[in-house]
Amino acid sequence: DTGVSQDPRHKITKRGQNVTFRCDPISEHNRLYWYRQTLGQGPEFLTYFQNEAQLEKSRLLSDRFSAERPKGSFSTLEIQRTEQGDSAMYLCASSVGREQFFGPGTRLTVL
Amino acid sequence: KQEVTQIPAALSVPEGENLVLNCSFTDSAIYNLQWFRQDPGKGLTSLLLIQSSQREQTSGRLNASLDKSSGRSTLYIAASQPGDSATYLCAVRRVDSNYQLIWGAGTKLIIKP
């Protein structure tokens, strides 16, 4: 399968714990995006990478959130000291041109 | 600030009907507009992308139109099938951003057999 992959697909954690998600983009896609989606809403932009450089960050990305793309390939999104309000679907997308291709998402539940 | 609205929030129609989903945006300074499909608990599948200079795009039974001056796009689905049941979202890319998409909340479509 050559699509965008995300791991894990589901994560249940207790409030205050740290979690890390991984996204593997389509091979040779130099652009990578993270979005967050809550139930019944459209996705909200979190951050964008071009190769290994993080070029844009939303104000939604508080200091508890950090994203990396160390070698310009896969990316990680870490949430520290999780809160119940962090419960959402975290979506990753990649592109090389105008169209973004999305992964299946990681559903986070914070108890 | 760009805002994207989709009406209706939900729609249920019998199989075989033609239908139209609506998307409106407040700022006409867009680079392009995309329509996506999302199945329950799943990621997003891109259906059609319309550049700001284009009026419409077609793919199979789907046709998307764009009227940038009035801030509207429609997704037309011909001869609907139960497999078309999903949530349909539209998203606009701002001209002043590095590919950031601004999304509507989606229209949940149910096609009854």
Helix boundaries (H) for chain A: none
A43 upstream amide cis, omega within 30 of 0: no
Mean pLDDT in chain A? Answer: 93
Chain A residues whose CB is inside 8 A of the B97 CB are 56
CB within 8 Å: B103 and A42: yes
Per-residue confidence (pLDDT) for residue A1, from 0 to 100 = 54
Shortest Cα distance, chain B CAs vs residue A104, angstroms: 4
Instruction: Say how many CA atoms lie within 13 Å of A105 toward its Cβ.
Output: 21
Contacts for B42 with CB less than 8 Å, ≥ 6 apart: A104, A105
- What confidence tens digit (pLDDT) does each residue in B34-61 have? 999 999 877 899 999 999 999 999 999 9
pLDDT under 70: residue ranges of chain A: 1
CB within 8 Å: B43 and A95: no
Write a three-state SS string for B53-109. CCCEEEECCEEEEEECCCCEEEEEECCCCHHHCEEEEEEEEECCCCCCEEECCCEEE
- What confidence tens digit (pLDDT) does each residue in B70-107 have? 999 999 999 999 999 999 999 999 887 767 889 999 99
Shortest Cα distance, chain B CAs vs residue A18, angstroms: 23
Contacts for A60 with CB less than 8 Å, ≥ 6 apart: A36, A44, A45, A46
CB within 8 Å: B44 and A102: yes
Q: Which of A44, A95, A105 comes nearest B99 by C-beta?
A: A95
Q: Which of B42, B97, B101 comes nearest A100 by C-beta?
A: B101
CB pairs under 8 A between A and B: 61
Chain A residues whose CB is inside 8 A of the B102 CB are 45
Calculate ∠ Cα B59-B63-B67, nearest 5°.
135
CB within 8 Å: A102 and B49: no
Question: From B31, which residue of chain A is nearest by alpha-carbon distance?
Answer: A98
Per-residue confidence (pLDDT) for residue A77, from 0 to 100 = 97
- Which chain A residues have any C-beta within 8 angstroms of a chain B C-beta? 4, 6, 31, 33, 35, 40-45, 48, 50, 55-56, 91, 93, 95, 98-105, 107
Task: Provide the residue count of chain B.
Answer: 113
Question: From A55, which residue of chain B is nearest by alpha-carbon distance?
Answer: B98
Per-residue confidence (pLDDT) for residue B95, from 0 to 100 = 81
